[in-house]
C-alpha cells in the first residue's frame, strides 16, 4: 500500500509539523492516530515520519530515514491570467505534472478585472498547488512569482524558452523539445550525449483569445521559440496542460 505523503508546514531538527486546516484534514477526515507512519517532505527531503502528538489544529511527526526520489526537470510555466475557475484547473494539473515554478502573466487580452484581483488570488493558487503536490506525491509545491506584465515575462531567461503560438504552423512542440535535447555535430549527425541544460525550460501560454500580435513580436525579438500544438484551437487551460505534459514527458 502506498504511504500517504505530506509537505511539512514547519521543521525543527528531527520533528516536522502540520498546522491549521492541513492538520485538521489528517486528524478529522483521515482519523490519524499516534504512531501512524507517513512520508513527510521536510525542507525538500523525503523522510519517514511517525506521528508523536495530535491536536485539532496541529500534528507532530518524528522524522526517520530519508527516502531517495528522482527529480523533475526544472520547467517554469509562464501562464497568462484567464478565467479563474479554468486557471485553477490548469494550475492544479500542471502542478501534478511537475512544473517547478508558475508565473502568472498579465497579457493584453487578459480582462482588466482579472488583472486587478490577481494579487489577491495568489494565496489561493498556492493552496491549490500545495494540495495537488501532496496528491501527486511531489516533494515540494511549485514556486510562484509575479504576476508579471508581458514585457517582463519576455525578458525571463533560461536555456530553452518556448512560446505556444496559434499562428505557428511549422514547428510542433514535441519535435522542438526532442530536437533541443540532441546536440548535432557540424555535418548534422546526432551524437549520443543529450544536452541536459535545455531541461531548464520556460513555457509561455497565452490567454483566452491568444497572444496579441505585438506580444508575439516582443517574444520573438527576445529570442523565444514559437511552437504549435497542432491545427485545432485549444482552450487556454487545455493548451497549458497538454504542452506541460509533452515537455515533461520528453525531458524526464
Q: What pLDDT, on the 0 to 100 scale, is given for residue 230?
A: 92
Least confident of 109-113, 121-125, 149-153, 193-197: 193-197
- Residue 98 and residue 137: Cα distance in Å, rounded? 10
What is the DSSP-derived secondary structure letter of residue 222?
Answer: T
Instruction: Determine contact, residues 55/28, Cβ cutoff 8 Å.
Output: no
pLDDT in tens, 172-217: 999 999 887 664 333 344 444 445 455 789 999 999 999 999 999 9
What does the domain layout of the chain look like in residue ranges?
A: 5-66, 75-251
Look at residue 130 and give its three-state secondary structure: helix
5-66 belongs to which CATH class?
A: mainly beta
Q: What pLDDT, on the 0 to 100 scale, is given for residue 182?
A: 61
Instruction: Determine contact, residues 38/61, Cβ cutoff 8 Å.
Output: yes
Superfamily of 75-251 according to CATH: SPOUT methyltransferase, trefoil knot domain (3.40.1280.10)
233 Cβ partners below 8 Å, 6+ apart?
166
How would you classify the pairing of strands 58-66 and 45-55? antiparallel
What is the percent of the chain with per-residue pLDDT over 70, rounded to a whole number?
Answer: 92
pLDDT in tens, 56-87: 889 999 999 988 877 788 999 999 999 999 99
| Residue predicted with more confidence, 53 or 68 | 53
Mean pLDDT across 84-112: 96
Q: What's the whole-number average pLDDT of the chain?
A: 89
Angle at 200 between CA 195 and CA 204, to 5 degrees: 125
Mean pLDDT across 37-50: 89
Instruction: Indicate if 75-251 has the same CATH topology as 5-66.
Output: no
| Residue predicted with more confidence, 231 or 4 | 231
20: left (phi over 0), alpha (psi -120 to 50) or beta: left
User: All 3 cell numbers of residue 115?
Assistant: 488583472
Q: What pLDDT, on the 0 to 100 scale, is given for residue 70?
A: 75
Instruction: Determine contact, residues 8/62, Cβ cutoff 8 Å.
Output: no
Q: What pLDDT, on the 0 to 100 scale, is given for residue 196?
A: 47
Instruction: Determine contact, residues 70/194, Cβ cutoff 8 Å.
Output: no
Q: What is the pTM of this model?
A: 0.81
Q: What pLDDT, on the 0 to 100 scale, is given for residue 17?
A: 93
Amino acid at each position: 500500500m502506498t504511504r500517504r505523503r505530506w509537505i511539512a508546514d514547519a521543521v525543527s531538527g528531527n520533528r516536522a509539523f502540520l498546522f491549521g486546516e492541513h492538520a485538521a484534514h489528517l486528524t478529522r477526515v483521515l482519523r490519524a492516530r499516534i504512531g501512524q507512519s507517513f512520508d513527510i517532505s521536510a525542507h525538500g527531503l523525503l523522510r519517514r515520519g511517525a506521528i508523536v502528538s495530535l491536536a485539532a489544529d496541529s500534528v507532530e511527526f518524528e522524522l526517520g530515514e530519508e527516502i531517495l526520489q528522482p527529480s523533475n526537470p526544472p520547467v517554469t510555466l509562464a501562464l497568462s491570467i484567464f478565467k479563474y475557475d479554468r486557471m485553477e484547473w490548469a494550475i492544479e494539473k500542471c502542478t501534478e505534472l511537475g512544473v517547478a515554478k508558475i508565473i502568472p502573466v498579465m497579457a493584453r487580452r487578459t480582462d482588466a478585472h482579472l488583472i486587478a484581483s490577481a494579487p489577491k488570488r495568489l494565496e489561493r493558487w498556492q493552496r491549490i498547488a500545495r494540495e495537488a503536490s501532496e496528491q501527486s506525491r511531489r516533494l515540494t509545491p511549485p514556486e510562484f512569482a509575479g504576476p508579471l506584465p508581458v514585457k517582463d515575462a519576455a525578458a525571463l531567461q533560461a536555456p530553452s524558452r518556448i512560446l505556444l503560438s496559434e499562428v505557428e504552423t511549422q514547428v510542433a512542440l514535441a519535435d522542438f523539445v526532442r530536437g533541443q535535447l540532441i546536440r548535432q555535430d557540424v555535418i548534422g549527425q546526432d551524437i549520443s550525449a543529450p544536452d541536459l541544460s535545455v531541461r531548464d525550460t520556460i513555457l509561455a501560454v497565452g490567454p483566452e483569445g491568444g497572444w496579441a500580435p505585438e506580444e508575439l513580436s516582443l517574444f520573438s525579438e527576445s529570442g523565444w521559440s514559437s511552437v504549435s500544438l497542432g491545427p485545432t484551437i485549444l482552450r487556454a487551460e487545455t493548451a497549458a496542460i497538454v504542452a506541460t505534459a509533452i515537455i515533461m514527458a520528453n525531458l524526464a
